[in-house]
A and B are shown apart, each in its own frame.
Chain A
């Protein structure tokens, strides 16, 4: 019995992409030979060498679509009629039979065996798995015009499970065309893989250099997308025996899931928000449902991408509404990918996803570059602020009011009591040395700050011919503090108050509150402050308090809770820093 065959239609997905790309590469489809595709075959279980002959075969034969063939526990045969035209026969290119199936098949052309791939067997031990995609050269002497019988002796002993589709494609065309189609797909894959490799190297290098998590996530995302591409392109680039097909499909699913998870994780990490973990949990749950609930690998992988792209787009739109920097471009990147997905969802998982991901990664790269530029500007601004604070602290020691009054007082002590003048000079030298030493530090131990402050109080004591003392409670002298902060607060108190008592005591108290330490400085209210209410040192934040706030924020972040107010007969200043 001869079985009919139909024309070339309904390519499998990845072959289709190759054809699409191939035709786009300016090779006119008119110059190509029509593919002779076998859509319908007759098949039967059993093993009889005579079934390769053109004669009417014995036994019970069933007719079905080639793609409906399933795996069998025993050896089985299939037969189909193939008609070659003059165009095929006259072609200068050699012809080939292309079989793509999860099976090992020995092909016969008009009863004559074609070169075998693998070995058909009735048990897994006996069968040697053939390649999943096997182009078999058809000698010119056999490729005559007219009808021919294409028979196959097949076994499927190495199939791991029953796939939805196990017999993908059987056709005759020129050998070169098969190679060209596979090569076209490979070219796209290699180009896309190169882009992902470059992106991965850049992002991971940036992560190593600046230690920022979003770079790590983008690097891993690029690697994962590259991995997905490698396992997808493995079939056309290298090929494998059909028993590797399911391991490869698991690999595809794993890389696709990882790529999707990293994409959502990147968005949630890069644009932080309240429900980030919730979104990740929802995506994980939906992807599990898709993996176990949907039939077919393309559907599973497509669902992973649908979930990730929608989630990332929603999160990105939220980030745009919150005005987060870089959110527009990053969201545009996933919207682009989502648009490609919506355009051709059926071909997204194993075809367009790679080009779409390249576009997405490119936009994320630009978004990150803009962010890097902003970070760089912020860093410069922070450095300028640090330099300004340092200059401000050093300048204080050479500020005319401090320096000239101190020198005048020193001159007076020299003329009155040179030994006192010498002591004052020691204190002044100590204070100035300390100021220069600590000015460029981000934090210093309390021991240094206290030594600086006590030197300053000694100098001020000599200037006012009174004694000023600093008492501390609960201070860990090894704990860090912002340089010059206590010094500034004491200086403020001495500038804005008139202390008439022979001795004035300032109190510094530290207390632990969980993971934070609260510091409280109590300075007595002097006469000037109490008699002249407009002489406020804290109501309207002056230069000193601005320095204190800025310095604390630079050293400990913005949550220092600086408060300054009158409490009874003292002026209390409080601030809190991480313990």
Chain B
């Protein structure tokens, strides 16, 4: 596990560092600390963290500019902020968790355990987490020179493309997201189902499940799109559709 702390408050960063060390104990993990965005960008590029603990107020700047940039990356983002009123807005753009300051060991442990659960088990059936993920309203996508917030309501399907994911939107256009399909699946609302190794589908947009010759199945979506369904997932899909 590679962890990056982005925090300009020395003692807050030190506390995060100490508590994360305490959580992982003897287990192998890698921890880096950046106290400004320039260093953070450099560390992200060099080390490719699995999770970033991000302070939303770095040197007096508006944290959401940083947040949009962070959640567009391939890693998970856990916000650590003094402004607890911004939690909802943070979940809307796809953070894994929001830890309000001041925090104790228990709250940080909860965030780290959630991260590990997602990574090891994929989608969790934890009711609270489903509630949190239901808050996701946008996916942040890196575009040349900017971050685009793509509304979840416009996403029909998401197709795995190696280390990236392709978002198929209702207007027929596509966007390339930096997160893998697995990572995205961990933060998406429950209505997005993994129907194939390479596909996540918005269940609300399925018109019909079709069976083809040779035991193959496919889903007919609105606007006539077709998405294949894995044999291993057909029973789960049938349950979701009934």
Contacts and interface: CB of A to CB of B under 8 A. Distances in A.
A41 to B, nearest CB: 101
Contacts of B103: 408
B15 A408 contact: yes
Given A404-B102, A496-B60, A465 B82 contact: no
Contacts of B59: 495-498, 528, 532, 535
B8 A498 contact: yes
Nearest to A410: B102
Contact of B36 (A401, A404, A527, A537): A527
A400 B15 contact: no
Residue picked from B11, B15, B103, most chain A C-beta under 10 Å = B11
Interface string B165-199: 00000000000000000000000000000000000
B36 A498 contact: yes
A465 B36 contact: no
Nearest to B105: A415
A493 to B, nearest CB: 11
Contacts of B11: 408-409, 412-413, 462-465
B9 A408 contact: yes
Given A408-B12, A463-B10, A531 B36 contact: yes
Contacts of A537: 60
Nearest to B55: A405
B61 interface: yes
A221 B143 CA distance: 77
B15 to A, nearest CB: 4
Residue of A408, A463, A527 most packed against chain B (CB within 10 A): A408
A8 interface: no
Given A412-B15, A495-B60, A407 B102 contact: yes
A3 interface: no
Given A405-B101, A407-B101, A532-B38, A412 B12 contact: yes
Interface string A524-535: 000110011001
A369 interface: no
A528 B60 CA distance: 10
A399 to B, nearest CB: 9
A204 B81 CA distance: 61
A175 B87 CA distance: 100
Given A412-B14, A498-B59, A401 B104 contact: no
B31 interface: no
A148 interface: no
Nearest to A466: B10
Given A411-B104, A465-B14, A498-B35, A400 B82 contact: yes
Contacts of A497: 59
A405 B35 contact: no
Contacts of A409: 9-12, 15
A531 B38 CA distance: 8
Contacts of B37: 532
B205 to A, nearest CB: 40
A205 interface: no
Given A408-B102, A531-B38, A401 B82 contact: yes
A528 B36 contact: yes
A536 to B, nearest CB: 10
Contacts of B100: 404
Contacts of A401: 57, 82-83
B1 to A, nearest CB: 23
A161 to B, nearest CB: 86
A496 B36 CA distance: 11
Contact of B10 (A404, A464, A527): A464
B101 A463 contact: no
Nearest to B82: A404
A404 B61 contact: no
B64 to A, nearest CB: 14
A409 B60 CA distance: 18
Contacts of B101: 404-405, 407-408
Interface in B7-22: 8-12, 14-15, 18
A165 B187 CA distance: 111
A530 to B, nearest CB: 11
A278 to B, nearest CB: 55
A403 interface: yes
Given A498-B35, A531-B36, A405 B9 contact: yes
Contacts of B15: 408-409, 411-412
Interface in B59-102: 59-61, 82-84, 100-102
Contacts of A462: 11
A408 B82 CA distance: 9
A400 B86 CA distance: 12
A404 B61 CA distance: 17
Nearest to A399: B82
A527 B36 CA distance: 9
A497 B10 CA distance: 13
A234 to B, nearest CB: 78
B12 A405 contact: yes
Nearest to A413: B11
Interface string A150-193: 00000000000000000000000000000000000000000000
Choose among A400, A462, A465, A532 the residue with the greatest number of B CB atoms under 10 Å from its CB: A400
A537 B59 CA distance: 11
Interface string A403-435: 111011111110000000000000000000000
A408 B104 CA distance: 9
Interface string A10-24: 000000000000000
Interface string A463-503: 11110000000000000000000000000000111100000
Contacts of B83: 400-401
A259 to B, nearest CB: 64
Interface centre among B38, B84, B102, B104 (most CB of A within 10 A): B102
Nearest to B60: A495
Interface in A361-382: none
B21 to A, nearest CB: 13
Contacts of B61: 535
Contacts of B84: 400
A463 B36 contact: no
Contacts of A496: 59-60
A403 to B, nearest CB: 7
Nearest to A529: B59
8 contacts: A401-B82, A405-B12, A408-B82, A411-B102, A463-B12, A495-B59, A531-B36, A531-B38
Closest 10 CB pairs of A and B: A404-B82, A409-B11, A404-B101, A408-B102, A412-B15, A407-B102, A495-B60, A400-B82, A528-B59, A464-B10
Given A404-B102, A495-B60, 6 more contacts: A408-B9, A409-B11, A410-B102, A412-B18, A464-B10, A532-B59
